[in-house]
Amino acid sequence: MEIYDYIIVGAGSAGCVLARELSSNPDNKVLLLEVGPDSNRFWVHTPAGMAKLFFDKKLNWNYFTEPMPALGGRKMYWPRGKGLGGSSSINGMIYIRGHPSDFDTWEKLGNPGWAYRDVLPYFKAIEHNERGADEYRGTEGPLWVSDPAVKVSSSFDFIESACRHGIERTDDINGRLHDGVGFMQHTIRNGRRHSAYFAFLRPAMHRPNLTVRTGCRVHRVLLDNGEAAGVEVECNGAKHTILAAREVILSAGSFNSPQLLMLSGLGPSEELRRHGIPTVLDIPGVGRNLQDHFYVHTAYRSTRSSSYNRKIRGVWKYLEGARYLFTKGGYLALGTSQVAAFIKSNPDVDYADLQISFRPMTFNFHPSGHVEVDREPGMGVSVFILRPKTTGTVALHSANPADPPKLIPNFLTDEEDVRAMISGVKQIRQIMALEPIASRVLSEQLPGPRMQSDEQLFEFMVDTGNTASHQTSTCKMGRDAMSVVDERLQVRGVKRLRVVDASIMPHVTSGNTNAPTLMIAAKGAAMIKEDALVRRSIRT
């Protein structure tokens, strides 16, 4: 019988941080379990390789939602990372923490210790910002945070036009002024993706007290007298039991953590009965409160100098590839977007509820999985709603751990969300019509000049709207009846069991979600070490 002090389920962004931090004490015997493979691959290292990983069958779960009535019954593709590093190995590498008020709200919702003043030290501790340290940024952490390798001239012009639209310029979205417009930073080090695996886990792999296993699917958490005792896991076709002397920690993400709780008999009793799973503890909030950033993309035909489309297609892409191989620079070393603008959908909003992202290139994803950069020069501008009123559900398709979870987002079912998104598309048009960016625009491709009324823009969203892949909050932290974990991230009603990943967010943060997920893991690890539960007496 195998026994570890801590069993961590899931080697995504949070799991990699936890494994590093908990194994820093040589007295802790730590096991990290991951169903996916190693992610040490060329296209993972290469920032532009994100396009190659969008439909990858080995490193991506390739999830789909249930049909969505409000979106004409269509299913939506939801990529999620599978393998060491999780989604940090396939994402756009954008590093945005969120607005300070997000975390202050978490505290007000019954989570002491989670205000911005409390989480800022953990944000600073995990990062090495190439700009240097200040009141808001750190340089002693393992995660590299950098500026774009190439700042395209049209990005500067977009910033200037956004300022003329009334948006304040910010030198650091993660610093003093979040609600503004400026260049984003990315988790890229010397032209290579710096995933959670490469930043946190790989440097700790040599530790004798840390065991990392890939290709292992956890079927359920084993419970004994109201506490987590271990996990039932299948590795390479063989099913066996591994025991935890101190704690089991779920870091499987906003889909798989609630799925695993339900498979273990912890969740809404009606959902468990539906699939013949005995209810160990009725926790109605498991899988509820699913939040995501609904996303709409607009595109503009542009002058040649405004876009790098030509540089990364045809014969030019091979020249750019050679440039990257020799210098680790150029356009293949860039993250997905260059500039972010945080704006209000209307003046009555307390702080920005929309994020606009600008990229000096355009592309299309084909159903086959092939990603094609547009032939003509183009600029892409997207918008997503930051704090949606809409919530969805993660449920079960069956009691089989190999079946995907059932994903129900409920997009476009709240009138306030719809009005905010329509405002976002209109404000993109207003910015793009202002100089100096206006001189770079040849024509509007999406939504297109014929789409003008609110009804037409809503139809455009129904047909083309997508996910920003920022799903959170399905095991939310709090003190109300729908909370799943407390402020120490312990599952309510179950000892020695925690959830530490994006699913614990009481509400989604105002921006991309990888940075706050890493912070959650760093703070969670600190709390686990502070609590230092006495080892269970285990008879084998």
CATH code of residue 221: 3.50.50.60
Report pLDDT digits (tens) over 281-308. Answer: 999 999 999 999 999 999 999 999 999 9
Hey, which residues are catalytic here? 470
Domain termination residue (choose one: 464, 486, 507): 464
Burial of 313 (0-12, 13-18, 19+ CB in 10 A): middle
pLDDT at 330 over 90: yes
158 falls in which pLDDT band (50, 70, 90)? very high
**What is the pairing mode between strands 393-395 and 2-9?**
unpaired
Alpha-carbon dihedral sign for residues 243, 247, 253, 254: positive
Q: Does residue 162 share a domain with residue 132?
A: no
Residue 370: which domain range?
Answer: 149-183+294-385+412-464
| Residue 265 binned pLDDT confidence (cut-offs 50, 70, 90) | very high
Packing angle, helices 116-126 and 100-108, rounded to 10: 130
pLDDT of residue 540: 59
Tell me the DSSP string of 417-481: HHHHHHHHHHHHHHHHTSTTGGGGEEEEEES-TT--SHHHHHHHHHHH-EE-S--B-TT-BSSST
* pLDDT at res. 369: 54
pLDDT digits (tens, 9 = 90+) for 71-116: 999 999 999 999 999 999 999 999 999 999 999 999 999 999 999 9
Q: Give pLDDT tens digits for 195-243.
A: 999 999 999 999 999 999 999 999 999 999 999 999 999 998 899 999 9
The pLDDT value given to residue 368: 54
What does the pLDDT average to over 420-429? 98
Q: 447 preceded by cis ω (within 30°)?
A: yes
Residue 130: is its pLDDT beyond 90?
A: yes
In a shared domain, residues 406 and 416: no
Same domain, 231 and 113: yes
Structure confidence at residue 313 (pLDDT): 84
271 and 298 in a single domain? The answer is no
pLDDT grade, residue 538 (50/70/90)?
confident
- The model's pLDDT over 363-392, given as tens digits with 9 standing for 90+, comes to 886 655 566 889 999 999 999 999 999 999
d(CA 473, CA 291): 6
d(CA 386, CA 503): 16
- Tell me the average pLDDT of the chain: 96
Asked if residue 506 has a cis previous peptide bond (ω within 30° of 0), the answer is: no
Among 426, 441, 464, the domain-final residue is: 464
CATH code at 447? Answer: 3.30.410.40
pTM: 0.97
Tell me: do 251 and 377 sit in the same domain. no
What's the structural domain count of the chain? 2
Same domain, 230 and 315: no
Residue ending a domain, choose from 402, 430, 464: 464
Band (520; pLDDT cuts 50, 70, 90): very high
pLDDT of residue 44: 96
Shared domain for 81 and 31, answered yes or no, is yes
Shared domain check, 244 and 106: yes
CA 384 to mean position of chain CA atoms: 14
The full DSSP string for 489-517 is -BBTT-BTEEE-SGGG-SS--SS-SHHHH
Do 508 and 472 form a contact (C-beta atoms < 8 A)? yes
Query: In percent, how much of the chain has pLDDT > 90?
Result: 93
The C-alpha atoms of residue 27 and residue 191 are separated, in whole angstroms, by 37
Task: Yes or no: say if 254 and 471 are a contact pair by the CB < 8 Å rule.
Answer: yes
- pLDDT above 90 for 314: no
Which of 270, 266, 263 lies closest to 405, judged by CA?
Answer: 263
DSSP three-state, residue 78: strand
| Among the listed residues 272, 224, 267, 243, the one whose alpha carbon sits nearest the alpha carbon of residue 232 | 243
Residue 347 confidence (pLDDT): 95
Residue 454 pLDDT more than 60?
Answer: yes
**What pLDDT does 1 receive?**
82
The model's confidence at residue 414, banded by pLDDT at 50, 70 and 90, is very high
Same domain, 179 and 39: no
Q: Count Cβ neighbours within 10 Å for each residue of 504-524 and write b for 16 or more, e otherwise.
A: bbbbbbbbbbbbbbbbbbbbb
Q: What is the pLDDT of residue 316?
A: 83
Same-domain check for residues 396 and 447: no
- In a 13 Å sphere around the CA of 366, the CA atoms on its Cβ side amount to 8
User: Do 177 and 207 reside in the same domain of the chain?
Assistant: no
At residue 372, the pLDDT reads: 80
462 is in an annotated binding site: no
> What phi and psi, each to the nearest 5 degrees, are found at residue 194?
-110, 80
| Token reading at 83 | 């393998």
For residues 159 and 96, state if they share a domain.
no
Give the per-residue pLDDT at 505: 98
How far, CA to CA in Å, does 104 sit from each of 98, 137, 237, 509?
11, 19, 46, 11
503-518 mean pLDDT: 98
- The arithmetic mean of pLDDT across residues 315-319, rounded, is 84
| Amino acid 366: pLDDT | 62
Residue 80 φ then ψ, to 5°: -145, 145
